[in-house]
Amino acid sequence: MKTDENKILMNKKTSNNPRLGAVGGPTKRKAELDLKKSTGTKRAAFGDLTNAKQSGSNTSNLKTQVKKGLNIFVEKGKSSLRSQKTTGSKTKANENIKVKEEVIEEVAATSSSSEEALLCELDASTGDGDSTLPLSEPEPQTFEVREPERSLPPDGVPDFDGETWGDPQQHSEYAMETFQYYKQRETEFSVPDYMSKQSEITNVMRAILVDWLVEVQESFELNHETLYTAVKMVDIYLSRKNVRKEDLQLVGAVACLIACKIDERTPPLVDDFLYVCDDAYSRDQLMKMERKMLAVIGFDLGFSLSYRYVRRYGRVCRVTMPTLTLARYILELSLMEYQLNIGTSEALLAAAALALAMKMKGISGWAGTMQYYSGFSLAQLDTTVQALLIMLQQPPKDNLKTVRSKYSHRVFHEVATIPVPRVVDMATDK
């Protein structure tokens, strides 16, 4: 019996001992009562804060809760003050903490979201405890971009760009820079002497192909830039790939098709090019050659064209339309000459064609203007001018009549019928 009484006595002592925390004792009952009294609200990050309205809460209780949530940060501020060396910084930090408390009390009395006010106030402080004033918007800065001074032509040379300044059709503001950029790009598209590497193609076959491209340009009423671009693409492709004579017309047709996509507003269809080739090639062959040609050329089609140069030089020299058309006729005939398209500057060829046209027309006083805008003197133009003169003096061939027939029409002022001089002296412009 004593043993049982001792066990009961031990159980009672254990249940009354708060350190042991036995199950079923007063401590558990107290925890259960506290749990029942709670309303199920979750503990906020800063103490017992909540935005929900509780029964019996008032403004003073809200202030007390906000102050309790701030105690952590106040204590951290005080502990950081102990490590500071100067007393001036301690005073400043204490003032900052007091300011925070006053601001939070005011916000808690007026705002229904005291936790949001506390977060906003804490985020506005710096790392060392100093409060930061709201940043003012920076004043807008203005940058002045000064255009470089435009170089003026020398005396006796008309300032064509200055006279047409502001005319969007003349492109006067950037005309000099544009054509200077074209001249810099000429070396990238310079065609080497490739005919000796071709096993089946000759100079005559190339001339016949160019003559056929002129006929295609007339049939489809294409721009002249399209024709010059197509011929340039043919030369570049032939300089990099060995082509059979059966595929030479295919190369020319594909080059013209690609050029149309660059310069034409409404380019002809693929079926149109198959038709002008007399259905010698299939649609699949044409499309395959187009992909191959673009890959060989490198997808860079920004060629410097002699046709663009001759129009520019004609404007600045103020030549008439018949004179400019004569220069275009000479330049278009030169497309069929292999030697004039190998390693020759496009700008030099255009300037020589216009110079020869003005010599044939008996125009004088253009040497200074030509030299300023083209960059070539009369002595530099002499060799190319003599080569163009020999080309004009040759009798027309039966299989190369398209260009001469084209410029014999009244639309082109019948410039192909103008007599060709035997000698042209390039010592002066008279």
pLDDT digits (tens, 9 = 90+) for 25-63: 455 555 555 555 554 544 444 444 444 444 444 555 555
Pair 282, 204 in one domain: yes
Residue 364 has pLDDT above 80, yes or no: yes
**pLDDT tens profile 298-341:** 888 888 889 999 999 999 899 999 999 999 999 999 999 999 99
Pair 215, 113 in one domain: no
pLDDT at 119: 43
Residue 120 has pLDDT above 90, yes or no: no
CA 223 to chain centre: 27
Pair 278, 311 in one domain: no
Pair 212, 282 in one domain: yes
- The pTM of this model reads 0.65
Neighbours of 258 (CB within 10 A): 19
Pair 70, 119 in one domain: yes
Pair 289, 378 in one domain: no
pLDDT at 330: 95
For residue 118, tell me if it sits in a domain: yes
| Listed residue (74, 149, 148, 144) closest to 104, CA to CA | 74
For residue 167, tell me if it sits in a domain: no
- What is the rounded CA–CA span in Å between residue 96 and residue 118? 14
Q: Which residues partner with 125 through β-bridges?
A: 131
- What is the rounded CA–CA span in Å between residue 354 and residue 330? 8
For residue 42, tell me if it sits in a domain: no
pLDDT at 228: 94
**Per-residue confidence at 285, pLDDT binned at 50, 70, 90?**
very high
Pair 324, 399 in one domain: yes
Neighbours of 421 (CB within 10 A): 14
More confident residue, 399 or 111: 399
Token readout for 74 is 């106040």
- What is the rounded CA–CA span in Å between residue 422 and residue 389? 8
**pLDDT tens profile 147-187:** 667 778 778 888 877 888 877 777 778 888 888 888 888 88
Among 40-54, 248-262, 341-355, the least confident range: 40-54
More confident residue, 406 or 2: 406
- The residues, ordered by sequence, that sit 6+ positions from 226 with a Cβ below 8 Å of its Cβ are 217, 256, 259, 260, 262, 263, 264
DSSP assignment, residue 188? G
For residue 3, tell me if it sits in a domain: no
**Per-residue confidence at 100, pLDDT binned at 50, 70, 90?**
low
Residue 140 has pLDDT above 70, yes or no: yes
Domain boundary, last residue among 264, 297, 330: 297
For residue 227, tell me if it sits in a domain: yes
Burial of 349 (0-12, 13-18, 19+ CB in 10 A): buried
Pair 260, 352 in one domain: no
pLDDT at 408: 92
Please tell me the total count of domains within the chain: 3
Q: Which of 7-16, 33-42, 290-299 has the highest mean pLDDT?
A: 290-299
Alpha carbons within 13 angstroms on the beta-carbon side of residue 24 total: 5
| Listed residue (182, 208, 401, 429) closest to 310, CA to CA | 182
For residue 352, tell me if it sits in a domain: yes
Among 61-65, 184-188, 353-357, the least confident range: 61-65
Sequence length of the chain is: 430
For residue 128, tell me if it sits in a domain: no
Token readout for 104 is 């939070």
Domain boundary, last residue among 234, 264, 297: 297
Pair 292, 311 in one domain: no
The domain of 343 spans: 306-417
pLDDT at 257: 94
Which CATH number belongs to the domain containing residue 381 in this structure? Answer: 1.10.472.10
Pair 249, 316 in one domain: no
pLDDT at 210: 95
Pair 316, 409 in one domain: yes
| Listed residue (232, 233, 251) closest to 242, CA to CA | 251
Q: How far is CA 80 from CA 87, 95, 104, 293, in A?
A: 13, 14, 21, 75
Domain boundary, last residue among 235, 266, 297: 297
For residue 179, tell me if it sits in a domain: no
pLDDT at 33: 55
- What is the rounded CA–CA span in Å between residue 330 and residue 391? 9
SS (HEC) of 43-72:
CCCCCCCCCCCCCCCCHHHHHHHHHHHHHH
Pair 311, 332 in one domain: yes
